[in-house]
Chains A and B, each alone.
Chain A
Amino acid sequence: MTQALSRSNEQASSQLFQDTEFMEALRSQMLKFAILQVRNEALAEDAVQEAMLSAYQNIERFNRQAALKTWVFAILKNKLIDILRKEKRYTNVSLLEEGAGRSDEALLEDLFNEKGHWQKSERPKKWDEPDHDIENSHFWRTFDVCLEALPAKHSRYFMMREFLELETKEICENEEVSVSNLNTTLFRARLRLRECLEDNWFIGENTP
């Protein structure tokens, strides 16, 4: 069973790699997104190139197209932030960096009262067996949307930790970030993701 499973996983990822139609479509989507952000085709091309390279380097980890796409866009966003920073275009930087939603501080204030305990309405609810849902493409779409809603740095660290399964030490060295900073960002990423899934799937209307 386990063997058969891992063989089918291998096949799936090599199919992903050979699916030139998917990879081309992904590239052109990324390029559109990048040009929109940096408004410079050459810089946008470079950023997309680098992000695609990271996709190829990690492709064996991804069997799902959607997961690979989420990953590669997270990388791309960070490349674009670097470019915008160099150009000192801070408005666009903060949009990419913070996402459109609440700041971390605002989120924490909404979730916890002044004594540091859960607000009554925000207390985590029991999730129905997530096991039950994993065959369900609607669930995975919600998961996509929730990942996409994370601020750029949050999603990047989260995916390095949970998608690529890198150790804390490796991430800190790669990203030149302190352990406590990483841990706090991971916590906030999980807090947001949890909140998003609970509001949009586990509590909300989850019948297709």
Chain B
Amino acid sequence: MMKCTQATQLLSERLDRNLTNSEKVNLGLHTAMCPACRQFGKQMLNLRDLSQRYVKASDASAQDK
């Protein structure tokens, strides 16, 4: 079984490259049994989404002045 250290790296890398079939299978098996890594995977997507909003949101709506 894949370790969390490997799973988390793949959960990041899948945002940057296509995973191989065996990586996908092994990662799927791991996350099916590991809620922490499942959560981590969601947060990787959240980070991407947040970054895009961070850059594009206009200051007017994000200012506290």
Contact = CB atoms under 8 A, between A and B. Distances in A.
Interface of B: 3-6, 8-9, 12-13, 15-17, 35-37, 39-40, 42-44, 46-64
Given A67-B54, A168-B16, A138 B36 contact: no
A194 B56 contact: no
B36 A123 contact: yes
B59 A66 contact: yes
Given A126-B39, A130-B49, A183-B17, A8 B58 contact: yes
B5 A112 contact: yes
Interface string A163-196: 1010010000000000100111011001101100
A86 interface: no
Nearest 6 pairs of A and B residues by beta carbon: A116-B3, A162-B51, A137-B64, A123-B36, A187-B12, A12-B58
Given A108-B5, A162-B51, A183-B17, A63 B46 contact: no
> Chain B binding site: helix, strand, loop or mixed by DSSP?
helix
Contacts of B43: 124, 127, 194, 198
Contacts of B58: 8-9, 12, 63-64
27 contacts: A61-B55, A61-B56, A64-B55, A64-B56, A64-B57, A64-B62, A115-B3, A117-B4, A117-B5, A123-B35, A123-B36, A124-B36, A124-B40, A126-B39, A134-B62, A136-B62, A158-B51, A162-B52, A163-B51, A163-B55, A179-B17, A182-B16, A186-B15, A187-B13, A190-B44, A190-B47, A194-B40
A6 to B, nearest CB: 10
Nearest to A61: B55
- Where chain A touches its partner, the secondary structure class is helix
B38 to A, nearest CB: 9
Nearest to B57: A64
A176 to B, nearest CB: 17
A65 interface: yes
B6 A116 contact: yes
Contacts of A12: 58-60
A162 B48 contact: yes
A190 B53 CA distance: 16
A161 interface: yes
Contact of B47 (A64, A168, A194): A194
B11 to A, nearest CB: 9
B6 to A, nearest CB: 7
Given A116-B6, A194-B44, A197-B47, 8 more contacts: A61-B56, A63-B56, A64-B56, A66-B62, A112-B5, A134-B53, A162-B51, A186-B15
